[in-house]
Amino acid sequence: MEKNIKDGDAEQLLPRQIRLVQSLADFQMACSAMEFICELDEDRLVTRVERRRYRCFEDTAVIAYGRAFTNANNLPLLSFKQIKISPSSDERALHERLLERRNKVIAHSDADRQRISFTTECFSLENKLVMMPRWDFDDALEFFAEREALVAWFGTLMSATSKRLFEQVQSMSEIRFVRDHTLIVSSGAEEG
């Protein structure tokens, strides 16, 4: 028996399954970004520009990870209980640090987590006093030391989420669900 589900019906029938599917996509993105960082040799000197490039991947990993555990319109949060895992204390600590980093540094610029310097220096130029601003900011990789542990943690989450999704659909009829905001959907009123 096949069940075609319209987008509007999905909010009532499939929110847990859609959350699992979206979380899998997010965990895969986080894992890919962190695996890219794993390619960086810890003994290699990198320019500040290169470090910021790697920081972009780290920020992507943190953002993608956090999406699964953050409120979204019409989707419930993902919980460890939902995917039937009990994180170790180290995994729980990584989880908390990832979410804190997302909420206080990447998605927002909370003052209590800022690492910036701002100074001014006065000097004379053509008999005129000029105040020159100077600034610097932290662009270090927060999770570089734990990069391999994060890849393993993301793998654990992908495995548990996939397994949970598989278990849940075993008691359902066939589903054909597509949500693509780029597609133009006909209301059917023009037909006929």
Closest CA to 78 of 27, 165, 19, 25: 19
Cα distances (angstroms) measured from residue 123 to each of 117, 118, 130, 134: 19, 17, 5, 13
pLDDT at position 190 over 50 = no
pLDDT at position 189 over 50 = no
pLDDT reported for residue 73: 81
The residue ranking higher by pLDDT, 154 or 2, is 154
| Average model confidence (pLDDT) across the chain | 86
Closest CA to 7 of 79, 75, 76: 75
pLDDT in tens, 56-105: 999 999 999 999 999 888 788 899 999 999 999 999 999 999 999 999 98
pLDDT reported for residue 186: 56
Question: What's the whole-model pTM score?
Answer: 0.80
pLDDT at position 7 over 90 = no
Q: How many CB atoms lie within 10 A of CB 148?
A: 12
pLDDT reported for residue 96: 97
CA dist 175 and 74 (Å) reads 19
Closest CA to 95 of 140, 29, 153, 147: 153
Cα distances (angstroms) measured from residue 124 to each of 40, 104, 128, 134, 179: 44, 40, 5, 16, 62
Q: For 47-56, what is the mean pLDDT?
A: 93
Residue with tokens 């989707």: 75
